[in-house]
Amino acid sequence: MGSILIVAEVQNGSIREASYELASFAQKLGREVHSLVIGSGVAGEAEAFAKKGGGTVHLVDAEAAANYNVDVYAAAIKAAVAATSPDAVLISNTPTGWDVAPRIAAAQDCGFVSDAFDVAEEGGSLVFKRRVFNGKLDAQITASGPVVATMQPGGTAPFEGTTDGSVSALEADLSGAKSAFVEVKVAEAKGVDLSKAEIIVSGGRGVGEPEKFPEVIQPLADALGGAMGASRPVVDAGWLPHEYQVGSSGQIVTPKLYIAAGISGAIQHLVGMKGSNFVIAINKDPDAPIFEVADVGVVADLFEVVPALTEAVSAAKG
Amino acid sequence: MKILVCLKQVPHQDARLDIDAAGTWIKEDNIKFEINSYDTYALEEALRIKDAGEAEVVVTSIGPDRVTQALRTALGMGADRAVHVKDAEIDGSDALGVAKVLAAVAKEESPDLVLMGLMSDDSNASAVGPMIAELMGVPNASSVMKVELADGKVTCERELEGGALEVVELQTPCVLAVQSGLNQVRYASLKGIMAAKKKPIDVKGAGDIGLSGQVGAGAAKTTIDKIYPPPKGEGAELIEGSTGEVVEKLVGKIKELGLL
Ligand SMILES: Cc1cc2nc3c(=O)[nH]c(=O)nc-3n(C[C@H](O)[C@H](O)[C@H](O)COP(=O)(O)OP(=O)(O)OC[C@H]3O[C@@H](n4cnc5c(N)ncnc54)[C@H](O)[C@@H]3O)c2cc1C
Ligand SMILES: Nc1ncnc2c1ncn2[C@@H]1O[C@H](COP(=O)(O)O)[C@@H](O)[C@H]1O
């Protein structure tokens, strides 16, 4: 049985929680575990990772790796693959992972599985589970040989045990990059801060037309004394500005009440609202994944339910 | 400047998803198809570069006959010509197989820029863009939200988590996998649709691009064992009844939460 190579991800000087989740998966599979830590001035983090599930840590500590760069990371990962000949390379499905991981599979001419939330061993092969059709269906995928896989953050708990791994420096030629990091622009604070709202009423693509937000969604938010939110397609279409977007690439919200109308419940949306205390979902598709995270569900046309609810709430307030 | 745009035709976002007899994909007969949502943004970005200066926009898609419709739409929006890779031999390819075919098309076309979507709405793989870049030996950027061209270089903004953006500079040629929302996508005009009828669609097979025997189900290194509805957990308490009854119960719940 071969080994597993984890590509740990350093963010703001520390190894991300998602990398410790990779350690959980790798340790569970019961194979020899190797890790790659890439960054600048991260020897201490590498030591910590070796003691917490990372196994034998190969460290690429270089000025050139101070910030993420696809060419530099690809070169470092290829060097680690050459040094360890793993059966599986595990990378987190983050903006870094989805930028670089497929390159490694192409370079190795091996299998690739993305955004898996589970991996297990069956008859010597690795079997992955992942979502397809934006969360509406699941798929089980078997890799017939070596594989590069990105794992969904939150797919398992971070590794909590202690292991006695060691750290050694890995030689990698990081020169010859054809792209260069310039800067990271952090999100500016906007007018609408949904992170503090107690009640949020969000509309999705099912709302259908831009006018329906002020006509149907906002009035319910107003009646409840809450704020309006939206899913990404609403913002992409220019119906509402980005500050209304809830999700992995928008705001993370934790209201006492979250009402989702015409939102299917793709993982990137759920990441943004699953910390809500109570969720009401209104969707005409009984199989919409949003009903799995909602406390209360209504399978109906939002254009019937939402205006009637607005009226009833206003009446209840008197 | 030459731009190659990779377009996938996928089941319409509102199509019924019935699992096929083999249990490994959905039934594709009798449903509507459309251009993958992310790819429409890639095409729009290419057309904007063309509108702002000189560029030839070539669109390419791998798939059966129905894909002609997607290519016609793209030509109607303003693309100059299309390459349709159609070959039963390619069926059942995994993402790497698809990337090999598209990289072979890119090799023939030698574009300055390859634009594509971040992921396909059906398989959600997010794989093909960086794979093509690796096969071409060029840099790539994914989740691209802004593209600027100057002095033979491309400056992009990549979307990170929580609304942060990473600015990255790439040499050309390069591969950009775009995120939804980076522009507002145009519709094909009537004039555009008429003009598109005269624009060429080149049809090629695996052999024409030197890949016979190297792609397709036999070469795939991953296989879908099955697809299935996600296992249901406890799920939501479903509230049923007339609109009046439903609303009354919802108001009751909101009161219980102490919010009314
Ligand atoms: C890297 C990345 C980041 C992303 N970040 C985010 C993010 O931050 N936030 C986010 O939301 N998404 C994000 N997405 C997109 C996400 O994958 C989904 O595409 C998106 O969440 C879908 O939005 P939706 O539910 O509104 O639309 P759809 O999935 O199209 O769902 C629309 C729903 O409306 C229902 N409906 C239609 N008409 C009615 C009606 N009259 N009454 C009731 N129901 C109706 C339908 O049954 C359907 O379930 C991201 C994707 C990627 C790849
Ligand atoms: N069959 C195909 N034909 C053309 N382009 C494709 C095809 N499959 C994938 N792509 C491109 O690759 C991108 C990423 O797809 P995927 O890796 O399948 O999620 C898509 O957005 C398309 O731009």
pLDDT score recorded for residue B91: 93
- Nearest CB to B235: which of A237, A292, A309? A292
What pLDDT, in 10s, does the model give residues B139-189? 999 999 999 999 889 999 999 998 899 999 999 999 999 999 999 999 999
Q: Which residues neighbour B51 within 8 Å (Cβ) at sequence distance 6 or greater? A: B78
Residue A28 has pLDDT above 90, yes or no: yes
Helix and strand numbers (H, E) in chain B are 6, 13
Instruction: Determine whether the shortest distance from the Cβ of A255 to ligand 1 is under 6 A.
Output: no
* ipTM surpasses 0.85: yes
CB contact under 8 A, A70 and B130: yes
Give the rounded percent of residues in chain A with a pLDDT score beyond 90: 94
Q: What average pLDDT does range A92-107 have in this prediction?
A: 98
pLDDT score recorded for residue A1: 61
How deeply is A111 buried, as exposed, middle or buried, from its count of CB atoms within 10 A (0-12, 13-18, 19+)? buried
* Closest ligand (CA of B145): 1
pLDDT score recorded for residue A191: 72
Residue A161 has pLDDT above 80, yes or no: yes
* Spacing of C-alpha A14 from chain mean position: 18
CB contacts, 8 Å: A75 with chain B: none
What pLDDT, in 10s, does the model give residues A162-180? 999 999 999 999 999 999 9
Q: CA A253, CA A229: separation in Å to the nearest integer?
A: 10
For B2-219, CATH gives: 3.40.50.620
Is-same-fold flag (A3-169; A199-316)? yes
Q: What average pLDDT does range A296-306 have in this prediction?
A: 98
A294 token code pair: 């909602």
Helix (H) / strand (E) containing B223:
strand B222-228
φ/ψ of residue A297, rounded to 5: -125, 145
Q: Which DSSP letter does residue A205 get? A: G
DSSP lists the bridge partners of residue B219 as none
Q: What average pLDDT does range B42-49 have in this prediction?
A: 98
A21 token code pair: 């989740």
Q: Which residue of A has its CA nearest to B171?
A: A178
- Nearest CB to A178: which of B143, B171, B260? B171
Radius of gyration of chain B (CA): 21
pLDDT tier at A2, thresholds 50, 70, 90: confident
User: Measured in angstroms, how far is the CA atom of residue A75 from the centroid of ligand 2?
Assistant: 25
Radius of gyration of chain A (CA): 22
Residue B2, classed as helix, strand or coil, is: strand
Class of domain A3-169: alpha beta
pLDDT tier at B133, thresholds 50, 70, 90: very high
State how far residue B132 is from chain A, nearest Cα, in angstroms. 8
State how far residue A141 is from chain B, nearest Cα, in angstroms. 4
How deeply is B152 buried, as exposed, middle or buried, from its count of CB atoms within 10 A (0-12, 13-18, 19+)? exposed
* Closest ligand (CA of B119): 2
Where do the domains of chain B lie? 2-219
Tell me which residues of chain B, numbers 54 to 83, contact chain A at a CB-CB cutoff of 8 Å.
none
CB contact under 8 A, B224 and A140: yes
| Cis preceding linkage at B173, omega within 30 | yes
Residue A16, classed as helix, strand or coil, is: coil
User: Measured in angstroms, how far is the CA atom of residue A224 from the centroid of ligand 2?
Assistant: 43
Q: Which residues neighbour A279 within 8 Å (Cβ) at sequence distance 6 or greater? A: A257, A258, A259, A260, A273, A293, A294, A295, A296, B236
Helix (H) / strand (E) containing B256:
helix B243-256
pLDDT score recorded for residue A22: 98
Report the 10 Å Cβ neighbour count for B198. 7
Smallest Cα–Cα separation from B57: which of B112, B137, B125, B119?
B112
User: Does domain A199-316 sit in CATH 3.30.360.10?
Assistant: no
Give the rounded percent of residues in chain B with a pLDDT score beyond 70: 100
CB contacts, 8 Å: A127 with chain B: 225
Smallest Cα–Cα separation from B112: which of B136, B146, B130, B82?
B136
Q: CA A75, CA A35: separation in Å to the nearest integer?
A: 15
pLDDT score recorded for residue A188: 78
Residue B111 has pLDDT above 70, yes or no: yes
CB contact under 8 A, B238 and A299: yes
What pLDDT, in 10s, does the model give residues B187-226? 999 999 999 999 999 999 999 999 999 999 999 999 999 9
Q: CA A49, CA A228: separation in Å to the nearest integer?
A: 41
CB contact under 8 A, A295 and B260: no
Instruction: Determine whether the shortest distance from the Cβ of A291 to ligand 1 is under 6 A.
Output: no
Amino acid at A257: L
pLDDT tier at A317, thresholds 50, 70, 90: confident
What pLDDT, in 10s, does the model give residues A183-241? 999 977 777 789 899 999 999 999 999 999 999 999 999 999 999 999 999 999 999 99
